Amino acid sequence: MARPVKTEHGKGNVDWTKQQLINAAAEQFSKLGFQGASLSKIREKVGVKNSTILYHFKSKEGLYLAVTEHLEQSFAQMIDDLFQQYEDASAFERFYQFCNTLQQWGSTQQYFTSIAIQEMMNRELHSANSMFYQNFGKRLEQTVDFIKGDDEEVIWQKVNWKIYIVNVFLSILLGQAVSVAIPIALSISEEDYKQQHINEVIRSQLLALVNDRSVAEEFLETK
């Protein structure tokens, strides 16, 4: 059976419709949680029938799973691109670029990352059966190896790297999550807050991680 012809707005294309439903669902889930999200509101935003959601995703749970899978795939692609682009960079540069890339990714995927943060805050992991958090953890372990570099690189303090990278990850994403309220409290623009926040995260985390702070300071002065 031939795929419907895509119009200038994307309607009529099965893949486009599925992605729009996932985007609309992410917004609902991030604002209202799994229980509060409404399939009717989601399909109204995209302009399709309820039967379209059931056709593509079978159920609300299936739609939620598709949302978390989108987030997981997006994160994996971001990490793969980062590894490829900065494979030959210095250890400091790899750390610096990971933090900045993560902030940029979190900004473009804010509805999706809000879901993960909300789940953790509420201690209700609706994504547990999707292997979502386990797969995120595996990617963060790969990130640790990427940042650390070869065993010969002895620039780092002895830390629990798994816990350390999770703390950096959450610090950056939580900074995104409060990027509306905090700038108001500080009387600065949202963009200024985001830039100052990531700069402080990089500086504090990097200086706490290295053996020779002066070398790290010299690197940061070039940025």
The secondary structure of 59-105 as a DSSP string is SHHHHHHHHHHHHHHHHHHHHHHHHHHTTTS-HHHHHHHHHHHHHHH
**Predicted pLDDT of residue 131:** 81
Q: Is 5 helix (H, G, I), strand (E, B) or coil?
A: coil
**Predicted pLDDT of residue 1:** 34
Fold exhibited by the domain 1-58:
Arc Repressor Mutant, subunit A (1.10.10)
CA atoms of 164 and 195, how far apart (whole Å)? 22
- Rounded to two decimals, the pTM is 0.84
Place of tokens 């993560």: 102
Classify the C-alpha dihedral 90-92-93-95 as positive or negative. Answer: positive
**Predicted pLDDT of residue 86:** 95
Q: Where are the domains of the chain?
A: 1-58, 74-221
The secondary structure of 186-206 as a DSSP string is HTS-HHHHHHHHHHHHHHHHH
Identity at 213, one-letter amino acid code? R
Q: Is 11 helix (H, G, I), strand (E, B) or coil?
A: coil
Considering the segment(s) 74-221 as one domain, its CATH architecture is Orthogonal Bundle (1.10)
Q: How many of the other CB atoms lie within 10 Å of CB of 64?
A: 22
Q: What is the pLDDT along the chain (223 residues), one digit of tens a residue?
A: 334 434 445 555 788 899 999 999 999 998 888 888 999 999 999 998 878 888 999 999 999 999 999 989 999 999 999 999 999 999 999 999 999 999 999 888 888 888 888 888 878 777 766 788 888 899 999 999 999 887 656 789 989 999 999 999 999 988 888 888 899 998 999 999 999 999 999 999 999 999 999 999 999 999 9
